[in-house]
A and B are shown apart, each in its own frame.
Chain A
Amino acid sequence: MTPTAGLSLEQAPPWSVPLRFFLTAPWFLVLAALLILWQGPAVFASRWLPATLALTHLLTLGFMAQVMLGALLQMLPVVVGVVVARPRWVAALIHIPLTVGTLVLALAFLTSSPAGFRIAFFLLGLAFTIALAAFHLALWRAPVISGTVIAMRCALVALLVTVGLGLWLGGFFGWGWPISVVTVTDLHAIWGLIGWTVLLVAGVAYQVVPMFQMTPAYPPQFVRFFALLMMLLLAGWSLCLWLEWAGGIRLFALGLATSIAVFAASTLYLLTQRRRKIGDPTLLYWRISMGSLLVAVALWVSTRIMPTWAQAPQIELLLGILLIMGFAVTVINGMLYKIVPFLAWFHLQAALLGRAKVPNMKQLLPDVKAQRQGWTYLAALWLLLAAVLVPEVFTYPAGIALGVTGGWLGVNMVQVALIYRRLLRTVSVAG
């Protein structure tokens, strides 16, 4: 059998393609922190406040989507064996409007500016249209239909729904389109966090948890059916929400909560089965992330049992912070520590093979740097949760911790990029 049979073996995308996303994203955590410090305790009063919505989108679009889209551009060729055509152009046409669009959207929320929402509508619409077109074209041609491909396809369908609903909400704020804002916002948030984010993380976890943590594989039946089941449950839940059928909403939501808990618990269990006994910094991130997901599910279930509890605005904010910061931002932060040094190492190997010695991954980014930033991250997460409960005491410490950890992550990423550049330059001068 030749290696090309059934597999697309074009070159992996250039280093700059994913890197521009990874170097930008951490600074959105810093912006989110500045917003918290500027707005003060009021930002934790309700999820519906303009400043809180701006904060949410700095985290979800500015940090999460930024890294997730950049990583997909990188991962599709490597993990799935498919190529995104013209990667530099696609990367620029996603990265620039996404970055500017996120800033404009946050400003539009803060200033209640219809013109701002209209500009954000077009910029974010452009970024996501290009991303969705490029990724769907690539993924639906995948030569091998693995659990990861299924989960990524489902995640991208969920992203399409999330973006569509988001643009619809943009139409409400920008042009006054008549829509039922509360329902559409709930749909938008759940499809974004539970559909797109959980399913993409699951698809990536099937690959990277066994690979980097040296654990057994996820059970094959789970890998095959988890994403499809989640999509069915999401669709059922959405339909019931739209039709205002309370019994159906409860049933499908319970199904979603159970499935998510099974995914989080399976991952935590696999992590106890590691063959390699020395821990690495990303192990802690996976544990915090999956732990947060489980706590979020437990908290949500408790609100179903005690309906009066569900009325408190703090519950929704706690769920939001657990899902966005505790689950998603944590696992993304951890994965950046695997992806960025690996890519730098890989591209240096490819360029310098036989001409110069390439430092190993630990020399490009020592574990101790990742660990120290990890502790500030953990502090930021705890302080944000505490700030929801006692805003007057914890808001400012939470803002400071988030700013420190975001900036630290950004500096760690920039340092890898600088070592990379210096090495290439030294060798090209010497050669």
Chain B
Amino acid sequence: MSAPPDILLDGRELEPPGPMELVLAALDDLQPGQRIRFLIHRQPYPLYDILRRHHYHYETTTLSSGDFEILISRP
């Protein structure tokens, strides 16, 4: 059985803290093995802080557009 598809969230056009609210709301629905693919136009340091405190795994990639893609999965 394959893992459920990634949840895609685009925070690039939202006023803060809209992007973070999107991610935090999606964390509740995240299944084991599933990932959140979060697009954002800047490094979301405060989000990293919350993710670390709650032991979520995340990985950041800089896209060629200058935006960032953050892959988040459950602890």
Show the binding face of A for B, using Cβ within 8 Å. Answer: 1-3, 7, 9, 11-12, 77-79, 81, 211-212, 214, 275-276, 342, 345-346, 349-350, 353-354, 360-361
Contacts and interface: CB of A to CB of B under 8 A. Distances in A.
Given A1-B59, A9-B45, A78-B45, A211 B16 contact: yes
Contact of B45 (A81, A214, A350, A354): A81
B50 A354 contact: no
27 contacts: A1-B59, A1-B60, A1-B62, A2-B60, A3-B58, A3-B70, A9-B48, A11-B49, A12-B49, A78-B45, A78-B46, A79-B45, A211-B15, A212-B15, A214-B15, A275-B13, A342-B17, A346-B17, A346-B46, A349-B24, A350-B49, A350-B50, A350-B53, A353-B24, A353-B27, A353-B50, A360-B21
Interface string B22-64: 0010011000000000000011011011101110001111100
Given A3-B60, A354-B28, A77 B45 contact: yes
Given A342-B16, A349-B24, A360-B21, A3 B49 contact: no
In the A-B complex, list the 8 residue pairs whose CB atoms are closest, starting with the nearest: A3-B60, A350-B50, A78-B45, A12-B49, A346-B46, A11-B49, A350-B53, A9-B48
A345 B17 contact: yes
Nearest to B61: A1
B45 A12 contact: yes
Given A214-B15, A346-B20, A353-B50, 14 more contacts: A1-B59, A3-B48, A3-B58, A9-B49, A12-B49, A77-B45, A214-B13, A275-B13, A342-B17, A346-B17, A349-B50, A353-B24, A353-B27, A354-B28
Nearest to B45: A78
B17 A3 contact: no
Contacts of A342: 16-17
Contacts of A79: 45
Contacts of A1: 59-62
B16 to A, nearest CB: 6
A54 B13 CA distance: 46
A3 B59 contact: yes
A360 B58 CA distance: 25
Contacts of A346: 17, 20, 46, 50
A329 B17 CA distance: 25
A355 to B, nearest CB: 11
A214 B13 CA distance: 8
Contacts of A3: 48, 58-60, 70
Nearest to A2: B59
Nearest to A9: B48
Nearest to B70: A3
Contacts of A349: 20, 24, 50
A81 B13 contact: no
Contacts of A361: 17
Nearest to B56: A353
A229 to B, nearest CB: 25
A77 B46 CA distance: 9
